[in-house]
Chain A
Amino acid sequence: MDARDDIYEYSLDLHHGEEEGKKIRKKFLMVLAILSVVTIVEVGMGMKWSRDESMATILKYTFIILTLVKAGYITMIFMHLGDERKNFQAVVLLPFFILIGYLVAICLNEALYNGTIRPVLENYFGY
């Protein structure tokens, strides 16, 4: 690699050797195992309890949290975002969470008005 003058080696881990490669591959297979187990748990819970009314809230929040965990593993390890500089991680993650968090908060808030307008229309305006 030293003989070339047209590669700008920006990324410090653009190349690695066989030994380091073994450890990295092992890490990927561990993450595959984690993702598979989480998916099996999710599908199992869905098959067992999705029609049970008493478990509905637990199911909903468990699914959302487990999905975020899976997304975190995929982004940080498979997409190598965890290997990038902290500031660049922030460039990608902060806008996403701020804007989507805001969007979801607005929608959750506005959705509270579902079902409250029709009775008003019917009672006061004769619909």
Chain B
Amino acid sequence: MSAHVSQTAAPTHSDHSAKPWAGGTSPFKISYGKMMMWFFLLSDAFTFSGLLTAYGYMRHKYTDIWPTAGDVFTHFPFYDGHIELAYVAFMTFVLIASSVTMVLAVEAGHRMDKKKVQFWMVLTIVGGLVFVGSQAWEWYHFIHGTEHGAYLLEDGVTVMRHKIDPHTHVMEPGVFLVPENDGSGFREVAGNEAQAMIAKSEHIHGANLRHNEYGIPLFANFFFFITGFHGFHVFSGVVINFLIFLMVVDGKFEKTGHYEMVEKSGLYWHFVDLVWVFVFTFFYLL
């Protein structure tokens, strides 16, 4: 240390108590970049909390006619039947696992182990891509809808659905459910009345910004917005992770002497996982 010109500026732990404003230190002993990342994550957390609170409010207001997520999300890749929420559970595991691989990359960075950092970061990026791909698959199925579809009545909003047994997912032929006007529940229609209503309605499949086969359009709107906004964060996280990965491979952090950039990128990735935990609970389970 004695060979350096900047000896007076180099920090030692004894300097701080003697001259706290002499510089070379940071409040909370945290680096600027990390602290700012935390502040950004705080602001993003407020955004998502606002969205989820709005979702909860609407979910409560229309609770009697809200579709059950377990009935809507029943698909699994390469499997023809219906298993509720299985694929969403798989997506949750993939994201949690990618979070673990990221934290292992950070830990390897603390030991200046470049090979391991690269290894764990590759796994994290792959996990992120699997998640984004799965979310896109879920959107595809949600938009595509079921084979039997539903009927959009004349008012352009109310949707008449087939009655489906919730345990076996088997459709009861000829019986339909129509939501009450005041949202207090469903009433069953069958026979001639049902046929008359079908004749004047539009046969729709799936959900998009104009109609929603599964029930009240708000459900689809919130699904697209919240999972889309979150998916956008996952995608940008994958991009950021990939760029940091390239910097790691390039040997940039070996030269700087610390892998703190990996840690900061890891914070963003863990935040994405954290938000998914909340979205998963409030959207799919409750």
Residue positions of A touching B, CB distance < 8 A? 1-2, 4-5, 7-18, 21, 24-25, 28-29, 31-32, 35-36, 39-40, 42-43, 46-47, 50-51, 59-60, 63-64, 66-67, 70-71, 74-75, 77-80, 84-85, 87-88, 91-92, 95-96, 99-100, 103-104, 107, 111, 114, 118
Contacts and interface: CB of A to CB of B under 8 A. Distances in A.
A22 B277 CA distance: 27
B93 interface: yes
28 contacts: A10-B30, A11-B30, A11-B31, A11-B34, A14-B110, A15-B110, A21-B107, A21-B110, A24-B107, A25-B104, A36-B93, A39-B89, A43-B85, A46-B70, A46-B284, A47-B70, A50-B285, A51-B70, A63-B285, A64-B286, A74-B274, A75-B270, A78-B103, A79-B270, A84-B28, A91-B28, A107-B53, A114-B60
A88 B28 contact: yes
B29 A39 contact: no
Contact of A25 (B53, B107, B267, B284): B107
A35 to B, nearest CB: 5
A94 to B, nearest CB: 10
Interface stretch (B3-11, B186-194, B196-204, B232-240): B3-11
B72 to A, nearest CB: 12
B84 A47 contact: yes
B174 interface: no
Interface in B2-41: 4, 6, 10-11, 24-26, 28-31, 34-35, 38
A87 to B, nearest CB: 6
Contacts of B107: 21, 24-25, 28
Contacts of B252: none
A74 B92 CA distance: 13
B130 interface: no
Q: Is the interface of B mostly helix, strand, loop or mixed?
A: helix
A99 B46 contact: yes
B257 A4 contact: yes
Interface stretch (B94-102, B146-154, B207-215, B218-226): B94-102
B89 to A, nearest CB: 5
Interface size class of B (residues with CB under 8 A): 35 or more
Given A11-B260, A14-B258, 17 more contacts: A2-B1, A7-B256, A8-B25, A10-B26, A10-B30, A12-B29, A21-B108, A43-B285, A63-B285, A67-B277, A74-B274, A75-B270, A78-B270, A91-B38, A92-B38, A111-B57, A114-B60
Contact of A10 (B29, B42, B111, B274): B29
B277 A87 contact: no
